[in-house]
Chains A and B, each alone.
Chain A
Amino acid sequence: MRLASKASSPPRRRQSFTEFLGRREVMPFLLLVPVLIFFIIWNTIPTLWLLGLSFYRFSLTSGRPPIFAGFYNFDSILNDSAVWLGLSRTFLFVILAVGIETVLGLLLGLLFWGSQKLPGRRVALTLLFTPMVLTPVASGTFWRLIYDPTFGILGSIFRGLGLPSLNFLGDAHLAFGAVLLVDIWMWTPFMVLMTLAALASVPKAELEAAEIDQLSWWQRLRLVILYHGKFILMLGILLRTIDAFKTMDLIYDMTFGGPGSTTEVIAITLYRRAFEDFTMGWSSALAVILLLISIAFTATFIFVLHSRDRKQASLAEEGA
C-alpha cells in the first residue's frame, strides 16, 4: 500500500533542458555568454598579455625571447623626455581643441536654436554635421592638398590677399596650429549637436517665465539654459576630451607627427615605438599607462552620468 501510494503521488517532473535555460537564475547569464566570450578573447586575454609583457624587455625584431626586467620599462618611460613632450603636447592639443570647439559649438548652437523654419533645414544640418562622420584618413589626406604650399587652395587665397604663402604642415611653427584647425573643423559640429540637444532639454515654460520676468540675455543663459542643459554639455565636453586624447589617424595622415616631432601626440609616439621600432616591452608599458589614463576618463564620464541620473530622479520625486 505504502509503495503504491508513493508511486501514485505526482512524481517530480524532470526539468527539460530548455526549461532549465529559461529559469530566472540561468537566463541572465546565458544572455551574457556571447558578450563574455568576445570580451574574454579580445579584451581580457590581450590585456593580461600586455600587462605581463610590460615587465619584460622584448623586441620583435631581435628574435630573442623576452627577458624579465621588473619595472625597467616604466622607469625608462618616466625618464623619457620624448614621452613627457608627447603627453604635454597631447594635453595642449586636447585643451585647445576642446576649448575652442566648445565655445564655437555653443555659439553656433545658440544661433541654430531658432532654425526650425529654415528652408532646407535637413540638408543644411547634413552639410554642417558631415565633417564628423568623414573618414579621418580621407580628410587628413585632402587637407594636405588644401594646405600644400604650391598647389593648395589656401596658399592661393593667401597669395590673392597679398600675404606670403606658407608651408602650413611643413613649418615647425605652423604645423601644430594647422592640425588643430582641422580638428576644430571636424569636431565643432559635434559640439553644435550637443548644444542643440542641451537647448532642447530646457523646459519651454521656464523660458517663457524668463521672458515674462524680463531676464537679460546673460541671465537667461546662466539661470535657465545652463541650469537645465549643463549635464548634456558636460557629457559632450567629456566625450570630446576623451576623443581628442585618442586622436591619431587624422594627424598621422597629415604630418606623420612631424615636422620634427612638433605634432607627435602620445598615440603616435606609441604607434612609432610599437609598429616601427617593434620595442614591444617598452610599448606595452606605455600602453598600460594610457590604459590607466583612459580608465580615469571613463570613471569621470560615468560619475557625471550618474550625477545627472540622480538629479533627474530627485526632480521626478519632487514632481510627484
Chain B
Amino acid sequence: MTTWRRHLYHLLLWLIALVFFAPVAWIILSSFKTANQILAVPPVWIFRPTLANYVRVLSDPGMVHSFINSIVLSVTSVLIAVAVAFLAAFSFSRFKPPGTNFLMFLLLSIRMLPGSAAILPVYLMYVGFGWKDSYWALILFYAMFSIPFSVWILKGFIDGVSPRFDETGRVNGASWLSIIAKLIFPQVLPGVIAALIFNFIFVWNEFLFDYIIGGPHTTNVPTALSTGLYSGGGVDWTFVSCVTTLYILPPIVIVYVFQRYLLVGMTFGTVRGEV
C-alpha cells in the first residue's frame, strides 16, 4: 500500500468509529449546554460550555442516592456472583459431577429469557414474601442473574489450567481451598476480570428488574431516568443529558481499559482470542 492510500484507509476507519460514537458525543456535548441551547433550532454547535447542569445533578439528593444505589447494587452483586460461580466452575471443570452439562444448560437458559418473563415469577415471589424494595433481595437476585455467565466464563478458563497443578498440590498436602486460592485463581485471573466487568456492565445498565422488584429505596439511575423523566410535563433534557453522561462514563472507561476482555465477556467465554 502506498503511503497516501494507507492514510486514506486509516482516515476511513476513524470516520466509521466516529459515526458510531456521534450520538454519544452529542449527549456529552449537550450536557454542557443550557436548556435553550439543547433545544435550539437549528442545533447549536459552538457555545460557551456550562457546568451548571453538573452542579444541579450533583446537588440533587435523589439523583445522588440513585448513583450510590447503582454502585452498591452492581459492585456487591457481581462480587458475590463471581465468588459463587468460581467454586461451581471449579467443581464442574475438575470433578464433572453427574448433571454438569444439564446444569450448565439450565444456567444459560436463565439468561436467554426476555427480562419481563424472567422477572414475573420473582416478582410474584417477592410480593408474597414482602421482599420488595430491599437491598439484599435485589442484590441477591442480581447475583443470581450474574452467576450463569460467570460460571460459563470461569469454567472455560479453569478447563485451560492443567489438572496436574491440582495433583501436584494434593501430593504436597495442600487442601482444596488452598489449591483453588493459590494455584488456580492466579492463573484464571483474566477470566475472573472478564466475569467481573461484564456482569458489572449488565447490572449497571439494568432497568427493568430494579423497577419491578425494587422500590423508592433501591432506585438505580436507569430507573430514576426512565421514571423521573416526565415530572412537570416535558422532559428536562439538560438534567437527562448530564445524568446520562456521568452514567455512561464507567462503561466507556471499562471498554478502553479492558478492551482485550471484551470478546470473552460478551460471548461468556465461548469465544476467545485477540481482536
Q: Does B20 contact A (CB under 8 A)?
A: yes
Is B113's CB under 8 angstroms from A35's CB? no
Smallest distance from the beta carbon of A287 to chain B beta carbons, Å? 4
How long is the Cα–Cα vector from A242 to B17 in the complex, in angstroms? Answer: 26
| Chain A 93-119: CB-based contact to B (< 8 A → 1; otherwise 0) | 000000000000000100110110111
Q: Contact at B20–A193, with CB atoms within 8 Å?
A: no
A42 near B124 with CB under 8 A, answer no
Q: Which of B13, B24, B88, B91 contacts A130 (CB 8 A)?
A: B24
- Chain A minimum-CB-distance residue to B94: A28
B182 at the interface (CB under 8 A from A): no
Is A193 a contact partner of B262 (Cβ separation < 8 A)?
Answer: yes
In the assembly, what is the distance between CA of A57 and CA of B266, in Å?
Answer: 40
* Interface hit among B38-46, B51-59, B188-196: B38-46
Chain A, 109-147, CB within 8 A of any chain B CB: 111-112, 114-115, 117-120, 122-139, 141-146
The answer to whether A125 touches B17, judged by C-beta atoms less than 8 angstroms apart, is: yes
- Which chain A residues border B107 with CB–CB below 8 Å? 39
B87 and chain A: residue at smallest CB distance: A31
Which of B24, B84, B176, B240 contacts A22, CB < 8 Å? B176
A275 and B88 in contact, given A38-B143, A126-B256, A239-B267 (Cβ under 8 angstroms): no
Q: Is B225 an interface residue (CB 8 A)?
A: yes
Chain A's closest residue to B143 (CB) is: A38
Q: How large is the interface on A (under 10, 10 to 19, 20 to 34, 35 or more residues)?
A: 35 or more
| CA distance in complex: A45, B125 (Å) | 9
Task: Answer yes or no: B8 CB below 8 A from chain A CBs.
Answer: no
Contact B16 A134 (CB under 8 A): no
Docked CA distance A127–B271 (Å): 22
User: Does B216 belong to the interface (CB within 8 Å)?
Assistant: no
- Per a CB cutoff under 8 Å, which of A38, A50, A139 touches B124? A50
Whether A127 contacts B21 by the Cβ 8 Å rule is yes
Let me know if B41 and A150 touch, CB within 8 A.
yes
B252/A130 in contact, CB under 8 A: yes
CA distance A233 to B206 in the complex (A): 27
With A134-B24, A142-B23 as given contacts, are A27 and B244 in contact (CB-CB < 8 Å)?
no
Inter-chain contact A131/B20, CB cutoff 8 Å = yes
Given known A-B contacts A43-B144, A128-B16, A294-B112, A49 and B125 have beta carbons under 8 A apart: yes
Chain A neighbourhood of B207, CB < 8 A: 135-137, 249
Q: Does A280 contact B (CB under 8 A)?
A: yes
Q: Is B68 close to A, CB under 8 A?
A: no
Do the beta carbons of B21 and A53 come within 8 Å of each other? no
Q: A22-B176, A31-B88, A35-B84 are known contacts. Are A245 and B114 too (CB-CB below 8 A)?
A: yes
Point out the residues of chain A lying under 8 angstroms from B212, CB to CB: 275
Known: A130-B24, A133-B255, A200-B275. A35 touches B87 (CB 8 A): yes
Report B136 CB to chain A, min CB distance, Å.
12
Given A135-B247, A249-B208, A141–B226 Cβ distance below 8 Å? yes
The prevalent SS among residues of B at the interface is helix
Interface residues of B in 71-114 (CB under 8 A from A): 83-85, 87-88, 90-91, 94-97, 105-110, 112-114
Q: How far is the CB of B261 from chain A (nearest CB, A)?
A: 12
Closest to B205 in A: A135
Whether A32 contacts B88 by the Cβ 8 Å rule is yes
CB < 8 Å: which of A111, A151, A194, A196 contacts B16? Answer: A111
Given the complex, which residues of B lie within 8 Å of A245, measured CB to CB? Answer: 114
Complex contact A146–B26 (CB within 8 A): yes
Bound CA span A133–B274, Å: 19
The reply to whether A294 and B113 contact each other, CB–CB distance below 8 Å, is: yes
Contact A111 B13 (CB under 8 A): yes
A172 to chain B: which residues have CB within 8 Å? Answer: none
Q: Are B275 and A196 in contact (CB under 8 A)?
A: yes
Is B64 at the interface (CB under 8 A from chain A)?
Answer: no
Complex interface: stretch among A76-84, A298-306, A310-318: A298-306
> Is the CB–CB distance between A138 and B248 below 8 Å?
yes
Asked if B24 and A131 sit within 8 Å, CB to CB, the answer is yes
B43–A28 contact, CB under 8 A? no
Q: Confirm or deny: A89 has a beta carbon within 8 angstroms of a beta carbon on chain B.
A: no
Q: Which residues of B contact A31 (CB under 8 A)?
A: 87-88, 90-91, 95
Q: Are A145's CB and B237's CB within 8 A?
A: yes
Known: A39-B106, A246-B115, A290-B117. 7 other contacts (CB 8 A): A126-B255, A133-B201, A142-B240, A193-B263, A280-B124, A287-B117, A294-B112
Instruction: Give B contacts to A, CB under 8 Å.
Output: 6, 9-10, 12-14, 16-18, 20-21, 23-24, 26-27, 30, 38-43, 83-85, 87-88, 90-91, 94-97, 105-110, 112-117, 120-125, 127, 140-141, 143-144, 147, 151, 175-176, 201, 204-205, 207-208, 212, 221-223, 225-226, 229, 235, 237, 240-241, 244, 247-248, 251-252, 254-256, 259, 262-263, 266-267, 270-271, 273-275
Give 26 A-B contacts (CB < 8 Å), ordered by A residue: A22-B176, A29-B97, A31-B90, A31-B95, A32-B87, A39-B106, A39-B147, A41-B140, A41-B144, A43-B106, A43-B144, A46-B122, A111-B16, A117-B6, A130-B21, A135-B222, A135-B225, A137-B223, A138-B248, A145-B30, A151-B38, A200-B273, A248-B114, A249-B207, A284-B120, A290-B114
Q: Which 5 A-B pairs have the closest CB atoms?
A: A46-B121, A28-B95, A31-B91, A50-B121, A35-B88
